[in-house]
Amino acid sequence: MDKGRLLSILYEQVEIERERLYKIAAKNGINSREALAQSKFVDNIFNLINRLQETQENLSIEHPGRHGLHTGKG
């Protein structure tokens, strides 16, 4: 699975979990244990997305020929 597809799946998951957080917060209060745990879970997904994006950007900068571009070498 390529990183672009993985990022797309993670964004979809974040939206699902964010909706779940809103429902939990509305039902139990924003400071409830369940809402805080859900908020931490959503934050962890965002952190993973950011790391993947940084890795993808670094690979593009460090190895521009890796993405199907002809470098003229070899």
Fold of 3-60: MYOD Basic-Helix-Loop-Helix Domain, subunit B (4.10.280)
pLDDT in tens, 12-48: 999 999 999 999 999 999 999 999 999 999 999 889 8
pTM of the full structure: 0.66
For the record, the structure tokens of 3 come out as 């990183």
| Angle, helix 3-28 to helix 33-62, in steps of 10 degrees | 160
Give, in order, the Cα–Cα distances in Å from 47 to each of 8, 11, 32, 50. Answer: 14, 11, 23, 5
Residue 62: what pLDDT? 64
Res 74 pLDDT > 50:
no
Mean predicted confidence (pLDDT) in 39-68: 78
Domain boundaries of the chain, sorted by first residue = 3-60
